[in-house]
Amino acid sequence: EGESSYDDVRYIRLNNSPNHHALQAKLSQLEGAETALVTSSGMAAISTALLAHLQPGDHILVQDNLYGGTHELMWRTLPSLGIAVDAVDVCNPGSWAEKRKPSTRLFYVESMSNPLLRVGALDRVVAFSRQHGLLSFIDNTFASPINFKPIPFGFDVSLHSATKYLNGHSDLVAGACIGRAEVIEPILKKLNILGGCLDPHAAFLLERGIKTLALRVEAQNRNGLAIATYLANHPKIEQVFYPGLSDHPDHARATTFFTGYGGMLSFTCQGGAKAAAQVVASTQLAACAPSLGGVESLITRPASTSHACLTAQERHALGIGDNLIRYSVGIEDGDDLIADLDQALAQI
């Protein structure tokens, strides 16, 4: 009664409770943006944002190596809706022009890729998108707003699985789309109809989790670098993927763009998939579980968790072997985490 339009009705699916408004204001300030929209999961944020801005007949450029769920959305769901997708190597800007078509609308990247931690030429993604009138979307989950703020950097939309660093306690699922009002507004309209709203109690918990975001991510940056350095010097380790290591192929870009290298790393050890499974099963502080970005360290093999929905052939093409181990660094004491990895590696 007395409401002037549907959007003025207070209804949870419309994302307009006081909890939503408080959380959205906090997220937009965190990333230096005009506005933000919270969603029921990271995938709800990503899918709703894409569906709000794409039409059948459109074409998009996407980073070749993406989170498994996003990969599936790009390569299986969007084409079924008449949206064409091409993969690009984000580290090689010279290769992008030949992939662009008159129908190209959008460029989609991750700030640090999952699970190999590639950091693309993000400045060039912004410049290329502006030059050709494309929308630039970035999944900023891995970097978190503490290490990277995509909107002041020039991206149109910053997306998050708020399930991860933003919440930080591995006890809820949520997502976020952050950017200018003119870009976020159509996503809200689409969200209202597709239904991926955030439950207000989860909004309350997420708002509370964000209070410690900066402290958590600073601890994770520190532990991440310490663990990556330890692994890089271990005789049984073959390769370590962490952008903070000087021999990571994207170290220079990560140093230029980010204020910290984050808490995600991956590595391979001698002995193949069997030894990798043994290491994952042998850590006692780091739990073997999917997800990432929480206060507790987690260890997984992407082939059986985050990238299980890709075929073995797709994983192989991306350099994600069955022996790859991904480690999400928590806020525990760094020496304890290293001692835990040390005893696990001693068992192979």
Here the tokens at position 261 are 């290298």
CB-nearer residue toward ligand PLP: 54 or 275: 54
* Dist. CA 224–CA 229, nearest whole Å: 8
**Residues near 208 by Cβ (< 8 Å), separated by ≥ 6?**
none
With CB under 6 A as the contact rule, the residue among 27, 28, 38, 139 that binds ligand PLP is 139
Residues 292-311 that bind ligand PLP (CB under 6 A): 306
Q: Tokens in use for 320?
A: 């994600």
Among 145, 150, 168, 175, binds ligand PLP (CB under 6 A): 175
The CB-of-141 to ligand PLP minimum distance in angstroms stands at 4
What's the CA gap between 246 and 248, in Å, rounded?
6
* Smaller CB separation from ligand PLP, 290 or 334: 290
**Smallest distance, Å, CB 336 to ligand PLP?**
25
Q: Is 173 in the site for ligand PLP (CB under 6 A)?
A: yes
Q: Provide the pairing of β-strand 104-110 with 59-63.
A: parallel
What stretches of 111-258 adopt beta strand conformation (E)?
A: 135-139, 157-161, 175-179, 237-241
Which residue type does 34 have? E
| Count of positions on this chain that bind ligand PLP (CB under 6 A) | 16
Does residue 150 touch ligand PLP according to CB under 6 A?
Answer: no
**324 near ligand PLP (CB under 6 A):** no
- Identify whether the C-beta of residue 132 lies closer than 8 Å to the C-beta of residue 104: yes
43 lines the binding site for ligand PLP (CB under 6 A):
yes
User: Which of 42, 294 has the CB closer to ligand PLP?
Assistant: 42
Q: Which stretch binds ligand PLP (CB under 6 A): 65-73, 127-135, 234-242, 328-336?
A: 65-73
Residue among 16, 63, 114, 144 that touches ligand PLP (CB under 6 A): 114
Return the active site residues.
Answer: 13, 67, 139, 164
- Report the distance separating Cα 66 and Cα 114, nearest Å: 6
The residue among 33 and 73 lying less far from ligand PLP, judged by its C-beta, is: 73
Tell me: does residue 67 bind ligand PLP (CB under 6 A): yes
| 42 lines the binding site for ligand PLP (CB under 6 A) | yes
Hey, CA dihedral for 195, 114, 123, 85, is it positive or negative? negative
Indicate whether 250 belongs to the interface with ligand PLP (CB under 6 A).
no
Q: Which is nearer to ligand PLP, 173 or 203 (CB)?
A: 173
d(CA 305, CA 302): 5
Q: Does the footprint of ligand PLP cover residue 163 (CB under 6 A)? A: yes
Closest by alpha carbon to 189, among 18, 55, 13?
A: 13
In angstroms, the CA 74 to CA 195 distance is 20
